[in-house]
Amino acid sequence: MCQHHGVAPDAKRSIIHAAAIAQFAEQGYRATSMADIASAAGMSRPALYQYFANKGDIFASAFVALFEEHVASALLALFHPGSTAEQLDGFLQRYEGDLWEKMATSSHIDEISSAKTADVGAAIAGEVMRLRDGMATYLRQVAPGRSAAVKTARLGWLEMLQLSPKGFRFDQPTVATYRRRLTSLAQSVAADIEASPR
């Protein structure tokens, strides 16, 4: 296996991803240079080019990896022991809350969002679909049934869990406020699930 200074290539890419996301959040996409990312990752610029061709390549790789990580954590949270409300809250906190915590302090959110290429957008859309499919599977388990009423209810819960967090960010809340809103959403959806006829 190829090593670079004693660190496996995948581990080194993860270090670069973390450094790049921090730099993009702090300085914005345009103002961040390869030298900035290399310095934050504790490596030289020439070493950085052994892993990525350019800043756009790092940006795409880092943000796709970030979404993959949060989607995986969110889906795992659905199967932690606990009540439906606790599982839904864990799901929302790992995906929405943790992502917001990474980005909320940046004054460059709009610039970062607009820097996404079509490939990054497609990769992230694939992860969002994986998240939606996982949630749909979970909802079928906690609210089984084949009637039209149950199917409609599950679709409504899925839409609430997917769309409400976007509205919760409208006023650029603090991380604590945003997380509180997510918990309230989880509790509301769980209460509706538990009250629904089977």
Task: Identify the band that residue 14 occupies on the pLDDT scale cut at 50, 70 and 90.
Answer: very high
Give the pLDDT of residue 10.
Answer: 84
Query: Which of 139, 49, 133, 52 is closest to 88 using CA atoms?
Result: 139
pLDDT digits (tens, 9 = 90+) for 37-94: 999 999 999 999 999 999 989 998 998 999 899 999 999 999 999 999 999 999 999 9
7 - beta bridge partners?
A: 4
pLDDT digits (tens, 9 = 90+) for 82-134: 999 999 999 999 999 998 998 887 887 777 777 777 778 888 888 999 999 99
Residue matched to tokens 């409504």: 156
Instruction: Compute the Cα dihedral for 187, 192, 197, 198 and give only its sign.
Output: negative
Mean pLDDT of the chain: 90
The domain made up of 55-195 has a fold known as Tetracycline Repressor; domain 2 (1.10.357)
Q: How far apart are CA 17 and CA 22, in angstroms?
A: 9
Domain range list for the chain: 55-195
